[in-house]
Amino acid sequence: MTDNTNTPGTFKASGVDIRGLHKSYGDNEVLRGIDLEVKPGEVVCLIGPSGSGKSTLLRCVNLLEQPNAGTIHVGGFDATDLDVNLDKMRQKVGMVFQQFNLFPHLTVMQNCTVAQTKVLKRPAAKARAVASTNLGRVGLGDFGDRFPDQLSGGQQQRVAIARALSMDPTLMLFDEPTSALDPETVGEVLAIMRSLAKAGMTMLVVTHEMSFAKEVADRVIFMDGGVVVEQGPAKDVIGNPQQPRTQDFLKRVLDPTHVEIAE
């Protein structure tokens, strides 16, 4: 296994294999049988209306939600096996949240080192070096001594990405990473994600940014009502959707000023 921490150009990537995934909250079935394979280094964007189950699917991949049925394999781990070491698995799966979820009582640097030292047992100096590399990668190399509440939303989300990268993940999950941002800071976060995609990171991204999906995703998956309705290369699914539900959704998202309210 090669160490990739000091070579910002490339990543050791792993894939995801999801089969027959079901998830319910009480009587509400949110995921109704999802099959999804993501190859190492592939960038897959999940799009769809709110409530379609795309965030739940993403959160199932690192078991923040417990699926009711189905299997998930992530980088050699069987995530749905009750005997799996979830903590070990999660070390390899970076997660970026809509609300950033930075640790407010820790500095930017400590946010990026705390799991390295406490979980991976890296020496403090090594952890700081790794954190510096990743903070530099997201353009915040000079911000290590700040606290999260001293940063803009876009900067906080970039720190969250650096924090996840500092664990040397082989897969990154993004749960609507730009939805809570001021419009003018969306671009800086998307730029970082674009560079990660170029560097070969496996990425599973729930997003409403259609132009980003079109440009960066190898594959776009449209979900609605807990199932995959349509999937394929970004230019096909977004540029020339085949299913009526996909067409309807994209019309609403891409041209929201001309949506007609049905009787």
Partner 1 sequence: MAMTTRQRARLSKLIQIVVFFGVILAVVLQVDWKVLSEQFFAFDKLGPIFPDLLTIGLKNTVYYTAISFAFGLTLGLLLALMKMATFAPYRWFATGFIEFFRGIPAILVLITFGYGVPTAFPGTSWPQPVIVMVSLGLVSAAYIAETLRAGLQAVPKGQIEAARSLGMPAWRAMVTIVIPQAFKIVLPPLTNEIILLTKDSSLAFILGATAAQYEMTKFGRDGIASLGAGITPLIVAGALYLVITIPLSLIARKFESRSARTKR
**Under the rule (CB under 8 A), what is the footprint of partner 1?**
62, 64, 87-88, 90-91, 93-95, 97, 99, 101-105, 114-115, 118-120, 147-149, 160, 163-164, 167
Q: Which is nearer to partner 1, 116 or 246 (CB)?
A: 116
Least distance between partner 1 and beta carbon 114 (Å): 6
Least distance between partner 1 and beta carbon 100 (Å): 8
Least distance between partner 1 and beta carbon 63 (Å): 9
Q: Which is nearer to partner 1, 118 or 198 (CB)?
A: 118
Q: Which is nearer to partner 1, 64 or 199 (CB)?
A: 64
**Tokens matching residue 178:** 């730009």
Q: Which is nearer to partner 1, 121 or 258 (CB)?
A: 121
Q: What are the two backbone dihedrals, phi and then psi, of residue 32, each rounded to the nearest 5 degrees?
A: -115, 60
Residues pairing with 20 in the sheet = none
Least distance between partner 1 and beta carbon 95 (Å): 4
- Give the three-state DSSP class for 111: helix
Residues 105 and 108: their CA atoms lie apart, in Å, by 10
Q: How many CA atoms lie within 13 A of 147 on its CB side?
A: 5
- Give the three-state DSSP class for 15: coil
Say if CB 238 and CB 214 are below 8 A apart: yes
